[in-house]
Amino acid sequence: MGNYHRDRNRRRYPDCPRAEHVHNYNDTTSYNDQHRHGYRGITSPPIYTNNTHYHNYQGTTTVNDNHQHRYEGKTGPAIPTPYGHTHTIYGRTSLDDQHRHNYETRTSSPIQD
Give the model's pLDDT for residue 98: 96
pLDDT at res. 50: 87
| Backbone φ, ψ for residue 37 (5° rounding) | -130, 150
- The DSSP letter of residue 64 is B
Report, as an integer, the average pLDDT of 61-71.
97
What global pTM score does this model have? 0.81
pLDDT value at position 83? Answer: 86
State the pLDDT confidence band at 6, using cuts at 50, 70 and 90: very low
Q: What confidence tens digit (pLDDT) does each residue in 69-104 have?
A: 999 999 999 999 998 999 999 999 999 999 999 999
Q: Are 101 and 92 in contact (CB under 8 A)?
A: yes
